[in-house]
Amino acid sequence: MSGRSVPHAHPATAEYEFANPSRLGEQRFGEGLLPEEILTPTLYHGYYVRPRAAQAGEGSRAGASELRLSEGKFQAFLDVSHFTPDEVTVRTVDNLLEVSARHPQRLDRHGFVSREFCRTYVLPADVDPWRVRAALSHDGILNLEAPRGGRHLDTEVNEVYISLLPAPPDPEEEEEEVARVEP
């Protein structure tokens, strides 16, 4: 089905290759490109357009970062398989959940690579940031979850007063005042 040509694909349809641009692989920096990413056509070639080859294999890479909100809990899954557990940190700041990871330059099959990322999720209003829990699976998927349905945390709003500054003096008026004082 991915090899099928779509005749007369209009640029506003899903079959048109620019309607579904390829996305940057979230955690795949430094690994090189897959053959289907290299051979995907990049220009509109007349009336016949093939659907993107990357869409066919998208199911295998889907879920690199996945967010699930249900009645009972907030859940996020993040692929951190390129990092060791001690290179990953998870913290909350107010209603933000921040996951960051970093490893120094090391040798892999293509040469030297160093990786670093930071992903921030906004927690729903009914999630207590102190109840967030993280678990790392054997295959490198970080599971972040927190129960929902708790008390709604009040948002503090600080209204800041805006003071008006006086206008700077006009240079022409100053010259007139100096001229009147001099005689």
Q: What is the pLDDT of residues 8-41, one digit of tens each?
A: 555 555 555 544 444 444 445 556 666 665 555 5
Given a contact cutoff of 8 angstroms between Cβ atoms, the answer to whether 150 and 127 are in contact is: yes
Residue range 101-131, pLDDT digits in tens? 898 888 888 888 888 889 999 988 888 888 8
- 87's torsion region: left (phi>0), alpha (psi -120 to 50) or beta? alpha
pTM for the whole structure = 0.51
* Mean pLDDT of all residues in 132-160: 76
Residue range 65-87, pLDDT digits in tens? 888 888 889 999 988 888 888 88
- Ordered structural domains, the chain, with CATH: 22-30+63-150 (2.60.40.790)
